[in-house]
Amino acid sequence: MKVHEYQARELLASAGVPVPPARVIESIDDAAPAYKAVTAEGETDLAVVKAQVHAGGRGNAGFVKLVRSPDDATDAARFMLSNKMVSVQTGPDGLEVKKLLVAAGVDIDHEYYVAITTDRATRRNVLIASREGGVEIEQVAKTNPDAIIKTFIHPLLGLQAHQAREVAFRLGFTGKQVSQAVKVMTALATLYATKDCSLAEINPLITTKPTAEHPDGLVLAIDAKFNFDDNGLFRHKDIGALFDPAEENPNELRASRMGLSYIALDGNIGCLVNGAGLAMATMDIIKLHGGEPANFLDVGGSASEEAVTEAFRIILSDPAVKGVLVNIFGGIMRCDVIAQGIANAAKEVGFEIPLVVRLEGTNVDAGREILKAAAADLPTLQAATDLGDAAEKVCQAVG
Ligand code: GDP
Ligand code: MN
């Protein structure tokens, strides 16, 4: 599960990481008052208006704007709320922006990158840090990998103080910055572990320019990204509550409400399968026969007839779908339940496109009977004998 930057900043603040004061707004009219509030709190005239979407690359896309007056804040808000954001992370269609963060601006001396994620090869969490933080970090990772420091975290001991200090020195922090940076990295590692994150990233972590009050500058987080392991959400109601359905693919959301795993893809063959392994094998064999799957839909082992019907509604609602392949190996999932779902969907929405069905396993005879009885509603139905036959038939049918 992904969350917005403003939610990630709140998590950081609650763990003791300093972040500039900010407000979340949803309308153009709220931009000027938000500008006034955050600049008063931050004792500056600089503020930054930032699109809140589940994608990065906002800076380069023009969706992070520095402003120095209420009118400029309003103009930035108008632009971001009325244009889709297209960045390297969004795909060409872009994303609609519904929320903005207005934060007090800071006078940046240097931008750093720090993040924690899980490294599968070593089966440990890893602290990744770089002195070359900011909007070009992906480029740095590609062209100058030596500028990226990796520190592996012991699964029981966590990030140790000496490790964090060493990283702070290697990043070039000096004077009072060192202990501040150590505190940030330690808090990030603790959040990562206790909240079951899959990514906890601050980019950039910055130092402010020296002032009379803070001659060494301050270490602040001015952008953050947190992803969470869905399998851990049941023990973090506070994190689950941060879920924003407006950022999700509506069909994927509809499916998850029914306990189905659905992922939209780019092809034209809708797939309805039970079990993730069989779903992947089905996609592979479709590709082997020259086709392209339009989705990955795993009804799982215990879907009800209603859930299966909903699965067909979702697949058929996608105008890109030119044919459907049902591949069921009935174990706990019964073939008659799947067949009834097909029959219901056929009655309700009609199958005008080719439908290839391969049913095997528990209650397969009852399933075939149901399909036979619904034959009038299923003029395009073809039965397949095995997986290869099914893939061949559906690929032929969609051309
Ligand atoms: P991202 O591009 O989506 O990662 O958005 P960020 O929040 O990281 O902002 C992109 C860039 O905008 C940062 O790397 C900074 O260079 C700049 N920026 C963001 N906030 C401030 C600020 O308060 N002051 C200054 N001077 N620059 C900022
Ligand atoms: Mn960033």
pLDDT digits (tens, 9 = 90+) for 266-317: 999 999 998 899 999 999 999 999 999 999 899 888 788 888 889 999 999 9
Q: Structure pTM?
A: 0.84
10 CB-near residues (< 8 Å, 6+ apart): none
For the chain, the average pLDDT equals: 94
Q: Would you state the pLDDT for residue 303?
A: 83
Percent of the chain with pLDDT over 70: 100
If you measure from the C-alpha of residue 351 to the centroid of ligand 2, how many angstroms do you get, rounded to a whole number? 46
Q: Are 109 and 209 within 8 A, CB to CB?
A: yes
Is any ligand 1 atom within 6 A of the Cβ of residue 353? no
Instruction: Check whether 204 has a pLDDT greater than 90.
Output: yes
**Two structure tokens written together for 127:** 């602290």
Is any ligand 1 atom within 6 A of the Cβ of residue 64? yes
Q: Would you state the pLDDT for residue 127?
A: 98
| Cis ω for the linkage preceding 319 (within 30 of 0) | no
**Two structure tokens written together for 139:** 């480029």
Average pLDDT over residues 29-46: 97
Q: What are phi and psi of 100, to 5 degrees?
A: -125, 150
Q: Which residues are catalytic?
A: 113, 201
pLDDT digits (tens, 9 = 90+) for 225-248: 999 999 999 999 999 999 998 888
If you measure from the C-alpha of residue 64 to the centroid of ligand 2, how many angstroms do you get, rounded to a whole number? 10
pLDDT digits (tens, 9 = 90+) for 163-191: 999 999 999 999 999 999 999 999 999 99
Is any ligand 1 atom within 6 A of the Cβ of residue 222? yes
**Two structure tokens written together for 340:** 């009834």
Percent of the chain with pLDDT over 90: 82
115 CB-near residues (< 8 Å, 6+ apart): 127, 128, 129, 188, 199, 200, 201, 202, 203
CB atoms within 10 A of CB 385: 10
pLDDT digits (tens, 9 = 90+) for 77-90: 999 999 999 998 88
pLDDT digits (tens, 9 = 90+) for 140-157: 999 999 999 999 999 999
Average pLDDT over residues 40-48: 97
Q: Would you state the pLDDT for residue 154?
A: 96
Instruction: Check whether 92 has a pLDDT greater than 90.
Output: no
Q: Which atom of ligand 1 is nearest to the CA of 107?
A: 26
Protein residue with least CA distance to atom 23, ligand 1: 105
Q: Would you state the pLDDT for residue 90?
A: 86
If you measure from the C-alpha of residue 322 to the centroid of ligand 2, how many angstroms do you get, rounded to a whole number? 40
